[in-house]
Amino acid sequence: MAPGFVPLACPQAQFAPVWVDDVAQAMVRSIDDERTIGGRYDLCGPRVLTLKELLAYTAKRLGKRVWILGLDDQRSQLMARILGKLPGAPITLDNYRSMQTPSVCDEHNGLLQLGIHPTDIDTIVPTYLGG
């Protein structure tokens, strides 16, 4: 993460980060459970955070001071159009469009339905980012 400031597209986009081991455990449990055949399970972590909150959380864990400049919708879309043309595009129009829909679970988190307690980011992230 660069020091200084970060212009952030779609700062209010919502996410419920889920730990990959929880997802793997859900897959394993569903393989042996006939009740899951044909079912669909949304898998989410226990906490909903905005993209701005996730970036601030990451910066704090890395010990970086960063000013996050949240862009409005028009500037977010413009950023996606421009940066989407670069090699290794950091954001594309597809990313922009996907962030218009919250990536969260309703009251039916598939992890809970499968008997798995979702792991919070505070349990895992410090093990690889520090802090």
In single-letter form, the type of residue at position 78 comes to: L
- Between CA 51 and CA 12 the distance in angstroms is 6
pLDDT band at 1 (very low <50, low <70, confident <90, very high): very low
- Please give the C-alpha separations between residue 72 and each of 30, 46, 86, 101, in angstroms, as whole numbers: 41, 27, 21, 16
DSSP secondary structure letters along 98-111: HTTS-B---S--HH
Count the Cβ atoms, other than its own, within 10 Å of residue 87. 4
pLDDT tens digits, 113-126: 999 999 999 999 99
pLDDT tens digits, 31-52: 988 999 999 999 999 999 999 9
Which pLDDT does position 56 carry in this prediction? Answer: 95
- Return the structure tokens found at 78: 């413009």
